[in-house]
Homo-oligomer: A and B are copies of this chain.
């Protein structure tokens, strides 16, 4: 049996407070720095490598972090999770997103169903549907092929699937795997739906309504918005819409939809890209085979997350280093900086994944914790960020730990040689240069041009951003966040913090307010 303990009650907590800090400038200099870069690397799935040489750790700190992993039973807790324990204590739910992509442990039977079979069954249904759409067997009322898939969803039904779609759009076009354009409607701002609808040919669009409960305000509102537009175009909405929802939701058996694909309570929104939530739109956009390849990459990475050795488990090590930075170096943020335009929205997905999972002040038993938990996550792709907020990262008064991601090859393969190097080489040269500039800095007597260094970063290096490496990246960060939640002893799988705003918004709309809220409502003409 595992034992759930607060982080600051562990022996390793005290040891980490006491362990000698690393001088990163010195550690990364000269030949010893070169040795570090060669040595401080962990292989991941799909040919990726997690290199943590430029993090402010050394063998002593890593040893203590390994003790923490053992003492807090991180691997055992993961084992409990994938074997179907009720890890989401707040909502009394299993946590099963890994089962969408593989079987790490025992069969998980819940509600009388083998859940792995349930998820693969849904995948098969989606694959069959998508193939029929691509083959022109499922068409619009005029018998014409659908050309566009529009996801209607918010939060995890939007950010993850959108980030993955953008990540593979150009790859798919370059490799002949592009089947249909995908668009996304998320915000309750009416301009969001209106703009997307203006940008597409509704007569050839299929809409994917994604709502587990069938009650998400934004999503139902946007569904009505879309149905209105279809009706105005003289179209039968039920011939243009599918639902991704739970079997018990009002949407599940409604004749308003061409088809319904099921999700369940054991996969939270921010972990749902591997489920039907990501599966429907990505299978329509790129074909079910490509979606399966994303899942394969994630499954391969999940296996590494089951390794107990921190040097074989990038997610675990990344999690532990992040905890060290958060709780012992006192850094409240982490910047995610992919040197890949295709990953432009991946930081926004990680922002939800991480901040919604571990932005908690109580432990899994509902007791307050007295240490910092989840960090603030932000990021933009490089090299763009270099010309934006990197000034503060280099010379600001605060230190922000960084996570770089880089690939040797571009996706499209179209490139130019300028000044003896390709754009892809320039891109890679920049990320290498940044790591060293941040770590070691550079002395200058003019302090305005002085770089103190000592700013830690890691990098995940891959050959190319493909379905497999994208899946591995996704799983790496999901598992990292999970391990951090275990360290902090929080429930990473509920989100009670979103409820109060919803409740008050309903009161405003019902004109059931007083005091300051009424004045704000008046100022906003509600």
A214 within 8 A of B: no
Most buried by B among A34, A154, A218, A526: A526
Q: Is A501 an interface residue (CB 8 A)?
A: yes
* B residues less than 8 Å from A374 (CB atoms): 392, 396-397
Closest chain-B Cβ to A27's Cβ sits at a distance in Å of: 9
Query: Once the chains are docked, how many angstroms separate the CA of A358 from the CA of B418?
Result: 34
Q: If A355-B396, A397-B369, A515-B31 touch, does A377 touch B389 (CB 8 Å cutoff)? A: yes
Given A34-B515, A437-B501, A523-B51, residue A387 in contact with residue B154 (CB < 8 A): yes
Per-position binary interface string of chain A over residues 482-526, scored 1 when its CB falls under 8 Å from any chain B CB and 0 otherwise: 000000000100111111111111111100001111111101111
Query: Are A378 and B378 touching (Cβ within 8 A)?
Result: yes
Per-position contact with B for A257-278: 1 when CB-CB < 8 Å, else 0? 0000000000001100000000
Interface flag for A177 (CB, 8 Å): no
- Checking B191, B228, B494 against A341 with a beta-carbon cut-off of 8 angstroms, the contacting residue is B191
Interface size on A, residues (CB 8 A): 158
Which of the residues B217, B496, B520 comes within 8 Å of A448, measured between beta carbons? B496
- Chain A 361-390, CB-CB to B under 8 Å as 1, else 0, gives 110001111011110111011111011111
Within 8 A of B (CB), among A169-228: 169-170, 173, 186-195, 198, 217-218, 220-222, 224-225, 228
A359 CB → nearest B CB, Å: 2
Whether B53 contacts A430 by the Cβ 8 Å rule is no
- Asked if A10 lies at the interface with its beta carbon under 8 angstroms from chain B, I say no
Check A340–B189 contact: CB distance below 8 A.
Answer: yes
Is A451 a contact of B497 with CB atoms below 8 Å?
A: yes
Give the docked Cα–Cα distance between A220 and B426 (Å).
12
Closest 10 CB pairs of A and B: A359-B392, A155-B387, A433-B504, A33-B516, A359-B396, A394-B497, A378-B378, A352-B388, A395-B497, A190-B423
6 A-B pairs in the complex with CB atoms less than 8 angstroms apart: A38-B519, A90-B448, A173-B198, A191-B341, A361-B397, A373-B397
